[in-house]
Structure 1
Amino acid sequence: MHLDGTVLRGPSFEPVEGRVVIDGGEIVSIEEMETTSDDIILPAFVNAHTHLGDSIAKEAGGDLSLEELVAPPDGLKHRLLREASRDELIEGIRRSLQFMESTGTGTCLEFREGGVEGVRMFREAAEYSDLQSLILGRETIDAMQIADGFGASGANDADFETERTATGEAGKLFGIHAGEVDSSDINAALDLDPEFVVHMVHPDPVHLQRIDDSEVPIVVCPRSNIVTGVGRPPIAELAERTTLALGTDNVMTNSPSMFREMAFTAKLFDLSARDVLRMATVNGARIADLDRGLVEEGRPAKLLVLDGNSDNLTGAQDIVRAVVRRAGPADVKRLVL
């Protein structure tokens, strides 16, 4: 099969008029040629941090603090998760996965509550989804063993040494929240040598130096941080030191739309469109050691096709900027997974 249009090629997302040729699920060539197609071809998004189990509680607790919302074991989300039926939880996750596909996401990294049963419910919800979900189990080592890794809540909740050792021995991903509310849990989180850290809103200079030395990747979730009132991550300082990826975080507080996350991030932090698009694609893939997130020969064909002639995108003078700051679900023409 082939896709014609403007191809955002390689790590620079250089707009090239031409054709992407796909065979056996792989990009075999990118041919520069004249085409009548207005389509825009780019990598499918990688949402590097989600909590889709919370899909049963959208916009709940809007006036609560972060601790009141999500702190284990008695934060609002945990109470609502305990009260919901198994069928309700599975259906909520399934609908969020469906929404993510419709908004261009091809891969997500999910921090999944509920132990072993939570992981099983997620897999059941994802059974008919083409989106690749990497599930990081929480709460127990048994959950990690049947998942793709372990997602720790934060170093102030427990030391997680045992879980980190077991995850490493299993050759799986270990991610942890850190620096979301304040800096008190950052050193302990970094001591665990995680594959990645989520949030990092409040690093002190000593933490920035440790991030520089270790180059531990960081997933930032700016919309979530603003909604929960914890502040803004110092993205410019972090980007100088390590790989940054984007996540949409908790479905309670934000839709899992990478279009919204990209536009918000680009405008709030005045980042270049290319930097933000890397955060939403190849950087998230690198965190999970996945060979995707770029339109290049030899890469898996995980692609998003936008209608460049939509009412929203027609007339765009800078295509990459328009994709990041302007595009939305109505512009999605096709998701190739």
Structure 2
Amino acid sequence: MQFEGTVLRGRDFEPVEGRVVVEDGIITAIEEADTDSTDIILPAFVNAHTHLGDSIAKEAGGGLSLDELVAPPDGLKHRLLRAASTEEKVAAMHRSLRLMEQGGTAACLEFREGGVDGVDVIRQALDGRDIEAVILGRETADAMEIADGFGASGARDAEFATLRNATAEAGKLFGIHAGERDAHDINPALDLEPDFLVHMVHPEPLHLERVADSEIPIVVCPRSNLVTGVGVPPVRELANRTKVALGTDNVMLNSPSMFREMEFTSKLADVSAAEVLRMATINGADLADLNYGLIEEGREGKLLVLDGDTDNLAGVQDVVRAVVRRAGLSDVKDVHL
């Protein structure tokens, strides 16, 4: 299988005219060649932080605080999830996964509420979809054991040392929310030596030093942070110290669109378009040890093809900048997952 056009090759997303050759699901060649195609070929996205369960309640709770919206165990999200049937949750999550797939997302890292039952619900929702979910169970060790790891709510909410140790012994991912409301739970989260942190809106100089020393990756979700009124993560300062990935967070609050998250981040933070595209692709893939997120030989050929001749993209001068700041679902020509 071949894809021709402008190829965003390698970690720097160098625009190359030519083709990508995929055989048995693996990229076997990137060939420079003249082509008449106006297509733009880039790696499919990795959404590094989602809560898909609240797809049942999009735009619920307008005006509520972060704690009122999502704090366990009785935030609005948790009450709505308890009240919804399994069938309702599966159907809503399936639709969100389909939307993500259509927008070129190859995988998401899902913090999955509901213990063992919650893990089963998303597996049902994934049936028939090509998108992959790295499922991080929540609430119980049993959920972690049948999932790909554990997604902790935050060090202020509970004691997670035992679950952290169990997750490490199982060789699975451990992620934890930190620094979303304020700085108070950042040191306790870092003390757990997690595989990654989520949010980090309020790091202080000591926390930034610890992040740099530990090189623990961070997932930022700027749109969500503004919706909940907690502030804006210092993306530039975080990216200077460690690997940063992008996530869309709760579907209740935001669409799970990596196009929107990239555009927002690029226009909000002092980071280049190439850095933002790395946050939306290879950085999330690296975090979860996925063999895609880049167009290079030996990687899985999970690709997104944009039509560079749409009314939106025709005439662009900087292809990477256009992908990050301008492109959207209407520009998608093909998704190869």
Would you say same fold, with TM above 0.5?
A: yes
- Aligned mates of 2:97, 2:55 — CA distance in 1: 10
Q: CA deviation at 1:289?
A: 1.3
- Aligned mates of 2:92, 2:166 — CA distance in 1: 30
- Aligned mates of 1:314, 1:263 — CA distance in 2: 18
| 5+ residue gaps, structure 1 | none
Q: Which residue of 2 aligns with 1:185?
A: 185
Runs of 4+ aligned structure 1 residues displaced above 4 Å come to none
- Aligned mates of 2:136, 2:129 — CA distance in 1: 18
Deviations 1:109-139 (A, max 9, x none): 0000000000001001101110010000000
- Aligned mates of 1:281, 1:334 — CA distance in 2: 17
Query: For residues 189-208 of structure 1, what are the structure 2 equivalents within 5 Å?
Result: 189-208=189-208
Q: Which residue of 2 aligns with 1:232?
A: 232
- Aligned mates of 1:137, 1:77 — CA distance in 2: 17
Q: CA deviation at 1:270?
A: 3.4
Question: Secondary structure of the equivalent of 1:41?
Answer: strand
In the alignment, residue 130 of structure 1 is paired with which amino acid?
D
In the alignment, residue 30 of structure 1 is paired with which amino acid?
I
Q: CA deviation at 1:295?
A: 0.3
In the alignment, residue 247 of structure 1 is paired with which amino acid?
G
In the alignment, residue 253 of structure 2 is paired with which amino acid?
T
Q: CA deviation at 1:290?
A: 1.4
In the alignment, residue 101 of structure 2 is paired with which amino acid?
E
Q: Which residue of 2 aligns with 1:209?
A: 209
Please say if residues 235 and 270 of structure 2, whose CA atoms lie closer than 8 Å, have aligned partners that are also in contact. no
Q: Which residue of 2 aligns with 1:271?
A: 271
Are 2:318 and 1:318 aligned?
yes
Q: Which residue of 1 aligns with 2:10?
A: 10
Q: Which residue of 1 aligns with 2:39?
A: 39
Query: For residues 1-337 of structure 1, what are the structure 2 equivalents within 5 Å?
Result: 1-337=1-337
Deviations 1:47-94 (A, max 9, x none): 000000010010000110000000011100000000011100000110
- Aligned mates of 1:127, 1:195 — CA distance in 2: 28
| 5+ residue gaps, structure 2 | none
Question: Secondary structure of the equivalent of 1:304?
Answer: strand
- Aligned mates of 2:23, 2:105 — CA distance in 1: 21
Question: Secondary structure of the equivalent of 1:19?
Answer: strand
- Aligned mates of 2:236, 2:29 — CA distance in 1: 35
RMSD (Å) for aligned C-alpha atoms: 0.6
- Aligned mates of 1:323, 1:54 — CA distance in 2: 28
Question: Secondary structure of the equivalent of 1:133?
Answer: strand
Question: Secondary structure of the equivalent of 1:254?
Answer: coil
TM-score norm. by structure 1 comes to 0.99
- Aligned mates of 1:324, 1:186 — CA distance in 2: 30
- Aligned mates of 1:199, 1:179 — CA distance in 2: 6
